[in-house]
């Protein structure tokens, strides 16, 4: 049986680049991010992070006030951008046929940290806190309640592939007929847990992250939210291919051969019915850690032996962890559907690592050719690998 196509319609985003898709697309085009910089937490030397600078003025309705925290306000800011499209879907299909699938890695852990600091006397002030703010699974039910949706609502947490896997799960719900439309994406907010945790793994850089460079020294942690409306109704971009694999090589290190990641890329292309030559742009996972970039460069050279335009966008957002898959698919979607859009730039020092296969990194204005598709890669601890393909 041939499964129905699914499409990505409206997109809402907020991250270090800006507070909506217009601001983010403009900043992507020039490779400048106002929210990237050093902050005074995460150790005695501070940390270089990607912060949302916009005020988060939207608060949950009074009936959901216990959910109020920075993480959920980031999500509300993104949801507000697609709410008209979501409400139109509810009017068409009924609220019981519209669901939510979100990915997150830390949820509202930052709210718990702040409350613990105040309770212990280490910090001044009073922050109303409810444990539900930092429950990993609470994001999707909260989003559904906020929007009045009554379809399936669940949260996926698989570290840095969380929101990429949300698209695979949401597509299945549509294809088997359990939903007619879904809100799908991811959210994560800055907190001490992730900044200090990755620093303890010696995986962070005190300067802006430098992917695919011989001088790469680690990641910057970021925050943000990105959400789409997905349905079977024809729209501006089709989720044409999904590839997932789990190589379980190591709890935190990728398989240096990239075999599991390569399997995910090839599965996504096969699912889309597309050859590698039909892909015009790949958003790389590109964390700028020594091992991730080595692995990804090698698998990219095998899957795309003739090259493909590619960029790693984490120098512009930081690594948004559970929100990274949706955020970077959002960048690929913008490149595909916005008329005249330029591909996201690869911001780095230009010092290619001679030990890695050379990639065709986007360093100046470039655009997709007609008919080309786009791809986004996500890799995570534990060997979780996801690749997503979009087509017009």
Is residue 310 within 8 Å of residue 361, measured between CB atoms?
yes
Active site residue 249: no
pLDDT tens digits along 25-64: 999 999 999 999 998 765 556 789 999 999 999 999 999 9
The pLDDT value given to residue 115:
85
Please choose, from the candidates 368, 253, 250, the residue with its C-alpha nearest in 3D space to the C-alpha of residue 310: 368
Mean pLDDT of 374-378: 98
Which helix (H) or strand (E) element contains residue 75?
A: helix 70-93
Query: CA 347, 308, 235, 179 torsion: positive or negative?
Result: negative
Q: Within 13 Å and on the Cβ side, how many CA atoms surround 368? A: 27
Q: 69, 160, 179, 191: which one is catalytic?
A: 160
| 383 compared with 289, residue with greater pLDDT | 289
The pLDDT value given to residue 258:
83
Spatial separation of the C-alpha atoms in residues 317 and 375, rounded to whole Å: 18
Using CA atoms, how far residue 64 sits from 72, 129, 144, 145, in Å, is 11, 13, 11, 8
- Residue 8 falls in which region: left (phi positive, over 0), alpha (psi -120 to 50) or beta: beta
Say if residue 119's pLDDT is above 90: no
Spatial separation of the C-alpha atoms in residues 309 and 18, rounded to whole Å: 24
Mean pLDDT of 370-374: 96
Q: 9, 90, 319, 346: which one is catalytic?
A: 319
- pLDDT band for 187, please (50, 70, 90 cuts): very high
The pLDDT value given to residue 123:
60
Spatial separation of the C-alpha atoms in residues 356 and 217, rounded to whole Å: 15
Active site residue 160: yes
Mean pLDDT of 84-94: 98
Spatial separation of the C-alpha atoms in residues 389 and 329, rounded to whole Å: 9
The pLDDT value given to residue 93:
98
Exposed/middle/buried for residue 61 (C-beta within 10 Å: 0-12, 13-18, 19+): exposed
Say if residue 377's pLDDT is above 80: yes
The pTM (predicted TM-score) of the whole model is 0.95
Say if residue 70's pLDDT is above 90: yes
Please choose, from the candidates 212, 216, 222, the residue with its C-alpha nearest in 3D space to the C-alpha of residue 47: 222
Q: Which residues pair with 244 in a beta bridge?
A: 386
| 310 compared with 251, residue with greater pLDDT | 310
Architecture per CATH, 7-231: 3-Layer(aba) Sandwich (3.40)
Task: Calculate the CA 361 to chain-centre distance.
Answer: 20
The pLDDT value given to residue 116:
83
Active site residue 346: no
Q: 69, 90, 179, 285: which one is catalytic?
A: 285
Mean pLDDT, all residues of the chain = 93
Spatial separation of the C-alpha atoms in residues 30 and 26, rounded to whole Å: 7
Residue extents of the structural domains in the chain: 7-231, 237-391
Domains 7-231 and 237-391 share a fold: yes
The pLDDT value given to residue 1:
64
The pLDDT value given to residue 118:
64
**CATH number 3.40.47.10 given to 237-391:** yes
| 112 compared with 74, residue with greater pLDDT | 74
Exposed/middle/buried for residue 365 (C-beta within 10 Å: 0-12, 13-18, 19+): exposed
Using CA atoms, how far residue 338 sits from 246, 265, 342, 368, in Å, is 33, 25, 9, 11
Say if residue 96's pLDDT is above 90: yes
């Amino acid at each position: 049986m041939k499964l129905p196509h699914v499409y990505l319609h409206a997109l809402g985003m907020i991250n270090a680049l800006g507070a909506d898709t217009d601001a983010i697309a403009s900043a992507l085009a020039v490779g400048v991010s106002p929210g990237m910089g050093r902050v005074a937490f995460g150790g005695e030397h501070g940390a270089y992070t990607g912060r949302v600078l916009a005020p988060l003025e939207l608060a949950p309705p009074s009936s959901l006030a216990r959910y109020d925290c920075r993480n959920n306000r980031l999500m509300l800011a993104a949801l507000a951008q697609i709410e008209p499209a979501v409400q139109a879907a509810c009017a068409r299909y009924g609220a019981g046929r519209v669901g939510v699938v979100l990915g997150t890695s830390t949820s509202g852990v930052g709210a718990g940290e702040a409350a613990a600091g105040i309770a212990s006397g280490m910090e001044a002030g009073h922050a109303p806190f409810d444990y539900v703010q930092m429950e990993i699974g609470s994001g999707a039910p909260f989003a559904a309640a906020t929007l009045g949706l009554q379809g399936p609502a669940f949260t996926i947490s698989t570290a840095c592939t969380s929101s990429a896997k949300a698209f695979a799960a949401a597509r299945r719900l549509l294809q088997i007929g359990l939903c007619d439309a879904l809100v799908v994406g991811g959210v994560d907010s800055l907190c001490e847990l992730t900044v200090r945790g990755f620093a303890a793994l010696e995986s962070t850089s005190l300067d802006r992250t430098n992917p695919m460079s011989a001088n790469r020294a680690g990641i910057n942690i970021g925050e943000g939210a990105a959400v789409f409306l997905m349905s079977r109704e024809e729209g501006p971009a089709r989720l044409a291919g999904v590839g997932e694999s789990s190589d379980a090589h190591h709890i935190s290190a990728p398989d240096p051969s990239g075999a599991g990641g390569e399997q995910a890329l090839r599965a996504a292309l096969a699912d889309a019915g597309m050859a590698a030559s039909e892909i015009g742009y790949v958003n790389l996972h590109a964390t700028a850690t020594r091992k991730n970039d080595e692995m990804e460069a090698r698998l990219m050279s095998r899957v795309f032996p003739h090259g493909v335009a590619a960029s790693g966008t984490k120098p512009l957002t930081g690594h948004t962890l559970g929100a990274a898959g949706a955020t970077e698919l959002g960048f690929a979607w913008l490149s595909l559907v916005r008329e005249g859009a330029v591909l996201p730039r690869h911001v780095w020092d230009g010092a290619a690592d001679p030990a890695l296969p050379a990639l065709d990194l986007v360093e100046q204005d470039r655009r997709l050719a007609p008919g080309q598709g786009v791809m986004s890669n996500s890799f995570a601890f534990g060997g979780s690998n996801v690749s997503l393909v979009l087509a017009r």
